[in-house]
Structure 1
Amino acid sequence: MLRKLHGLPGLVAALLLVVLATSGVVLSVVPALERSGAVVPAAGELSVAGLAERVITNYPGTEQIARSLSGEVVVYYSQDGQPGADLVNPLTGEGIAPYQPSAFVRWVKNLHRSFLMDDVGRMLAGVWAALMVLICLSGAFLLARRLGGWKAMLQPIPGSGSPRIHAELARFAVIGLLLSALTGSYMSAVRFGLLPEGASTEPTFPAEVSGGVPAPAGSLKALKNVDVNELRELVFPFPDDPTDVYSLSTTQGSGFVDQATGELLQYQARSTGSQFHHWMVRLHTGEGLWWLGLILGLAALTVPVLSFTGLQIWWQRRSSAISLGENASIEAADTVILVGSEGNTTWGFAKDLQNKLNQAGKKVHCAPMNDLAVHYPKASVLFILTSTYGDGDAPSSASQFLTRLEHFQPDDGLEFVVLGFGDQQFPKFCQYALDVDTALSNKGLQHMHPLTRIDRGSATQFREWGEAISERMGIPLVLTHNPAPAVTSEFELVERVDYGVAVNAPTSILRFKPLKNSRNLWQRLPFQNRKQLPDFEAGDLLGVAPPGDEAARFYSLASSASDGILEICVRKQTNGLCSGYLHSLKPGDRIAGFIQKNPGFRPAGGTTPIILVGAGAGIGPLAGFIRKNTERNPMYLYWGGRNPDSDFLYQPELGRYLDDQRLTRLNTAFSRSAENAYVQDAIVADETALRHQIEIGAQILVCGGREMAAGVRQVFDSILKPLHMDVEELRTEGRYLEDVY
């Protein structure tokens, strides 16, 4: 409901809101421009009597003096029977320039107030302002829910693309937009009699005046008692009429001044309602509050972008789900995939899973989670692929799932798998997937595979999950979906360093440079940046498809774009098609590849101690992290190889990093040497120091093979026991990250 309250008014009002906002931006600058050209006396420096005296000296035919809230003073006068109006310097009374309101500003005001359509347009503008109030309030609640509560509203917003831009701009502008919308709605409601403007503050004309000889304006007591900065308007009496009076209007009230005695007559203070209306106008227009006008203008500048990104988000959410391949009926399906998605991203992963299961001979039924059937007569596996919306809520295509689950009647032997999609920067990462997993377990279903969470649509994590499912089901299942299709570039091998041949574990460090004549991503870079690599960090992935094979293999990058090279560390696998291809390269040879971001595998910033753990070629990204540690923050490396004489990867570089303190300490273990040790042994030998580092907030990053990673997890679980913690808890806190293969 909250999403509809935010989205539907936005869709209806988008175009006219852009008109209101754009015209509002122009008008927001006017108070600041007026203020910059105005001469504003200090408080107490000049009275209205002094101003009147100086103006009359220069303009004997003065009829009226008006002062805007921005500080501009205008004298209206008559000279030789012709009316005139000039901006004047209040300190001298001298003219500055003829006063001629801008026709352009007047036109923009009419556009802003009524879309150039008089009362009908004013009514329409009022309705749109009210819609803007609804959009701002619902958007604020949605953002708070997405970030995990109001306290998180000032924290960094995770995500990317249109949703990230929309949320960042909305957070910046919401207060200003809400203020403009509320005050605009109020002014419209007052104009059309829906709200009272406030009690009238106009005094009645005095029944009696002295009728004496007029005194000089500069000597009148009532005018001496009013500071010029309080003046709104002073209307002079009709010439040669001793019974007429000055009409005085100030920010506090209105009254009349006897031109002979200088007494204030029939003074009427502004009512509370009138003061309220006055301030609502000022808060909307910025008159007299030029700084507020500029803030409101900056907020209004975001409306066109918010409208565009909002429409993009709506289109992505409302566009039809990705068309599915061969979809078996509920009665015939032996495998069921149910999808929970807010913006259709999860459907891409579901389609890939369905297609690969179909290729393996499975009869697959795929549907939204809201379409959960009461019974799947032939199904043996139920896959749930779901994202999480907001603060742990169900996405739109899964909003009815838990209710429908109450009536679900699973067959004996039906197993389930839950795959959650989310962003681990959010406080409730994949919370809805966790809730669904628990609900299915409580229903009596058995896990075929534990719950897995995918961070930011990682194609690598999805592929790894598919490998695990393939082993469980005993079928080939190579998942390749990447929500951001790869655009390849050409790279030339410029250097290779070979290790491990003597211990039958050939491993090479390969360094590439981009080719200037690449006709794809490289050529679309700005000309001045074509000597630079596409942006990436150590720990991101290089995707390479060997000749004759469309499926890309991924290798962790050991360098960052700022290093000027693209570096990977590759061990040649037995019968490995891609690793064999890369190991066959000679300097000067070229490959086609693409970079895939891997933000879920990054060391924390600041002074947080970093514990790096790896084995074999897994040292690649870890060496890259050390290379970038130019701040010399605490960084410890535990690495395992086979023999120190033949495959001590990065040995020269690690020595330099120890010398210049980018690496705090190096601990190695070699399995084909006299010590016969593995990296787990090096960790155990240092458990006391490691426990202390973890206790003070250290982060652990593990890179290497699955078996090694599993052994390292067991060791750290043992180390953490005295702290009443485990690896899973560290993982939840973002303090235990893995990149395994």
Structure 2
Amino acid sequence: MIRAFHRWPGLLALALVTLLALSGAALSVFPAAGRLAAPQAEAGLTVATLAERILPVYHGVEQIRRAPSGQITAYWFDQGAPGAAVIDPATGMGAGSADPNQTERWLTTLHRSLFLDDTGRLVMAAGAAAMLVLALSGAALVLRRMGGWRRWFARLRGPLAGRLHVEIARVAVFGLLLSSATALWMTASTFGLLPDGAAALAMPEVSGQTGAAFAQMPTLAATPVAELRALSFPYPGDATDVFTLKTDQGTGYLDQGTGALIGWADLGAWERVSETIYMLHTGQGAVALGLLLGLMALGVPVMGATGVLVWLAGRRGRPRIRGNQPAGRAETILLVGSEGGSTWGFAATLHAALTAAGQSVHAAPMSAFAPESYARAKRVIVLAATYGNGDAPASAKGFLDRLAALDRAPKMPLAVLGFGDRSFAEYCAYAQAVATAAQAKGWAELLPLGTVDRQSPQDFARWGRTLGDVLGIDLQLAHQPVLPATQTLTLISRRDYGAEVQAPTAILRFALPKRTLWQRLTGAGFARFNAGDLIGILPEGSPVPRLYSLASARGDGFVEIVVKRQPGGLCSTQLTALEPGDTVTAFLRRNPGFQPGKGGAPLILIGAGTGIGPLAGFVRGNARHRPIHLVFGMRHPDSDFLYGEEIAGWQRDGRLTRLVTAVSRGKRPLYVQDALRAEAAEVAGLIRGGARIMVCGGRGMATGVAEALAEILAPLGLTPAALKAEGRYVEDVY
């Protein structure tokens, strides 16, 4: 529900909100410019002295006004003709034209009313209301995604558009809340929907005399110019008129004959609130705040663009679930934990089958878990994928924390279905963690934990029949995987290794596919990618893609992967049999969690076998000569020293600082973890200096590396887990 409140105002009012933000950002510059340009009054200057300096220069002065920027303007009549000038308070003489800035006036009218008077004011008020809804719902979504206020600025992962959207929102949301709320207040005040609040000040009796000197007016002599708002002079020749003084404290009348203060009204609390709101919205009187709000407003068009991209990506990656019931009216709550979107396809199939069987179903991401909203629910079904090394996928963030915070388990029973790849040691680890946490909370079990291996429609159908038996319905789940948009890649070269050690391996280089205009604008497909991102290959005869780490970036001008032929492996067998000119069907998947990041901190790259792929890509792209230390494990240098020639060249041109190899089939077998222990002092020094560790390869190798690093880190008072928490130790293992 919150996501819908955020999405639709953003999409429907995008142009209007962007116009509000950009015009507001432009207007925020003028208070600062006015502050810099205006001659400022010296400290201690009083209103009486200022008036004494101005009056001899402009005899027909009608009013002296001070703006929040400190600019002092005098208004007068000279032989019936009005005049005005910006005043230098040091001399009382004119220092510039008082004519309003036409650009500022034009922008102000555009910002307030679109040049449409009251109708335009209402339209812009609707835009401010949309911005307020966006800011509130956006803040709620960020809180839910990050897991609370304490993690508001925690590190993000995911596609660039989504990360940029949230990064800007986390900073700008406070300014947007303030700007939109104050805009609505000012609109309500303009249309008379708020009380005036100004204190009534009756016209007092006057002496009937004229001609008092300013020095004889104690109130003017005691009022500093820094507190002045306006001093209005009596009408010439009218002895019944008075001086009217407006300051930051209130409004008073002064007798023009005696100089006495004959009436005063303090500024009311409501007036102070209204003036504070005006200051907060315009920046008049608070230059730094105005510039800060303007800077935050500049994030709106960027958030608008990235929000549209996220929405479009979601529509492409997540199938539309028809007939999705509100959470409060559904009998079955279907919660989905997905990283790349494929689990949502299974959710759509299950939702459709349950709906066809007469069930009312509500599907939502696991991050939206809210059992207090499930008023009519009879069961909760969780479909959960696993990200990385047993972590929560993107749409499940915060689920376990929310479950742990419950006073008691939900009343309706729970079924958990995990999705994963059985070849990984952490097969369905996150789903297992959910089931374990639910059991510890005392949540009743509808079904034992089920699993689906490699997106198998058969596994899913078998689980569906079990669920149908429990529900007493005939539940047939015929799932057809929904794949991302694919492109055809043509092989242009290959290099073969490993035949001598019975580990046939190939470095496959494909031509870059052509980019459409849409891909150029959105970065979709292979329009943008980095080494370490993933490429999905669809093998012939199977609807299930296989993922490989990229050894190249878009700037390299080609798509490159390293593949080892696995016994009985459908995809690896087909790939290692390709010849130049052959094609494959592929798609790109971002992998932001395995990137070297920016900055100049040293990198320790650790890999074995085909794990060298993305690491070689990082080294190849190290044009700025960041210190990189590579530890590479192979069977024998004569057979599977992958990228051997390139590595020598990278060392010569400074892209690679140091290479350490571990040969497992030599006279003295050495594994990667052994090489690390031998380099313990060097590794410890690099880590002490802020180095980041990146590990890629088989899970067994990664486990050995973690054990070796634990030994190396112990004297430093560190652990691999601590480095992972800091984002200084990342893995891409298989």
TM-score normalised by L of structure 1: 0.68
Question: Deviation string for 1:14-62 (max 9, x for gaps)?
Answer: 7765665566456545534544553333333x54344434444443332
Conserved? CA contact 1:683–1:715, under 8 Å:
no
Sort the Cα spacing of 1:60 and 1:435 in 2 relative to 1 into closer, same or farther, 3 A. same
Q: Pick one of 396, 399, 407 that aligns with 1:392.
A: 399
Conserved? CA contact 1:626–1:663, under 8 Å:
no
Q: Pick one of 675, 679, 686 that aligns with 2:671.
A: 679
Give the equivalent residue in structure 1 for 2:276.
Answer: 279
Give the equivalent residue in structure 2 for 1:172.
Answer: 171
Conserved? CA contact 1:129–1:185, under 8 Å:
yes
Sort the Cα spacing of 1:733 and 1:367 in 2 relative to 1 into closer, same or farther, 3 A. farther
* Structure-2 separation of matches of 1:135 and 1:590: 46
Q: How much does 1:104 deviate?
A: 8.3
Letter paired with 1:610: I
| Count of residue correspondences | 663
Conserved? CA contact 2:47–2:223, under 8 Å:
yes
* Structure-2 separation of matches of 1:522 and 1:536: 16
Question: For structure 1, which runs of at least 5 residues remain unmatched after alignment?
Answer: 326-335, 355-362, 411-415, 422-428, 453-461, 474-478
Q: Pick one of 550, 564, 572 that aligns with 1:557.
A: 550
Sort the Cα spacing of 1:136 and 1:586 in 2 relative to 1 into closer, same or farther, 3 A. closer
Conserved? CA contact 2:228–2:247, under 8 Å:
yes
Sort the Cα spacing of 1:650 and 1:56 in 2 relative to 1 into closer, same or farther, 3 A. same
- Find out whether 1:666 has 2:656 as its counterpart: no
* Structure-1 separation of matches of 2:87 and 2:720: 75
Question: Deviation string for 1:500-530 (max 9, x for gaps)?
Answer: 444454444455665xxx644599769xx9x
* Structure-1 separation of matches of 2:641 and 2:337: 47
Conserved? CA contact 2:629–2:657, under 8 Å:
yes
* Structure-2 separation of matches of 1:719 and 1:263: 84
* Structure-2 separation of matches of 1:10 and 1:521: 27
* Structure-1 separation of matches of 2:294 and 2:113: 16
Sort the Cα spacing of 1:319 and 1:241 in 2 relative to 1 into closer, same or farther, 3 A. same
SS at match of 2:346: helix
Percent identity between matched residues is: 33
Question: Deviation string for 1:625-658 (max 9, x for gaps)?
Answer: 45556666574525131x4433333445556677
Question: Deviation string for 1:102-143 (max 9, x for gaps)?
Answer: 59837954972799564x887887787677556534432432
Conserved? CA contact 2:418–2:450, under 8 Å:
no
* Structure-2 separation of matches of 1:542 and 1:107: 48
* Structure-2 separation of matches of 1:728 and 1:113: 56
Give the equivalent residue in structure 2 for 1:455.
Answer: none
Give the equivalent residue in structure 2 for 1:418.
Answer: 418
Give the equivalent residue in structure 1 for 2:209.
Answer: 211
Q: How much does 1:232 deviate?
A: 2.0
Q: How much does 1:668 deviate?
A: 1.8
Question: Deviation string for 1:556-594 (max 9, x for gaps)?
Answer: 333444555554434456787766776677779888866
* Structure-1 separation of matches of 2:309 and 2:532: 31
Q: Pick one of 613, 624, 642 that aligns with 1:620.
A: 613
TM-score normalised by L of structure 2: 0.68
Sort the Cα spacing of 1:699 and 1:483 in 2 relative to 1 into closer, same or farther, 3 A. farther
Question: Deviation string for 1:522-543 (max 9, x for gaps)?
Answer: 99769xx9xxx95433333455
- Find out whether 1:105 has 2:95 as its counterpart: no
Give the equivalent residue in structure 1 for 2:250.
Answer: 253
* Structure-2 separation of matches of 1:83 and 1:28: 30
Conserved? CA contact 1:115–1:121, under 8 Å:
yes
Q: How much does 1:235 deviate?
A: 1.9
* Structure-1 separation of matches of 2:615 and 2:308: 42
Letter paired with 1:713: T
Letter paired with 2:279: R
Sort the Cα spacing of 1:37 and 1:4 in 2 relative to 1 into closer, same or farther, 3 A. same
Conserved? CA contact 2:660–2:675, under 8 Å:
no
Sort the Cα spacing of 1:40 and 1:163 in 2 relative to 1 into closer, same or farther, 3 A. same
Q: Pick one of 210, 227, 230 that aligns with 2:227.
A: 230
Sort the Cα spacing of 1:394 and 1:468 in 2 relative to 1 into closer, same or farther, 3 A. farther
Conserved? CA contact 1:115–1:125, under 8 Å:
no
Letter paired with 1:668: A
1:464-475 equivalences under 5 Å are none
Question: For structure 2, which runs of at least 5 residues remain unmatched after alignment?
Answer: 323-331, 351-356, 365-373, 386-392, 422-427, 464-478
1:164-563 equivalences under 5 Å are 164-187=163-186, 196-198=195-197, 200=199, 202=201, 204-209=202-207, 211=209, 214=211, 222-242=219-239, 244-303=241-300, 322=319, 340=336, 345-346=341-342, 348-350=344-346, 388-389=395-396, 391-392=398-399, 403=410, 405-406=412-413, 417-419=417-419, 434-436=433-435, 438-439=437-438, 446-447=448-449, 449=451, 463=454, 484-488=484-488, 490=490, 492-493=492-493, 497-511=495-509, 514=512, 519-520=514-515, 535-542=528-535, 554-563=547-556
* Structure-2 separation of matches of 1:681 and 1:239: 96
Sort the Cα spacing of 1:548 and 1:520 in 2 relative to 1 into closer, same or farther, 3 A. farther
Q: How much does 1:602 deviate?
A: 4.0
Question: Deviation string for 1:274-309 (max 9, x for gaps)?
Answer: 434332322222223344333333444445665676
Give the equivalent residue in structure 1 for 2:150.
Answer: 151
Q: How much does 1:200 deviate?
A: 1.0
Letter paired with 2:250: G
Cα RMSD for the two superposed structures: 5.9
Sort the Cα spacing of 1:59 and 1:483 in 2 relative to 1 into closer, same or farther, 3 A. farther
Q: How much does 1:612 deviate?
A: 1.4
Letter paired with 1:738: D
* Structure-2 separation of matches of 1:639 and 1:633: 20
Q: How much does 1:432 deviate?
A: 8.1
SS at match of 1:180: helix
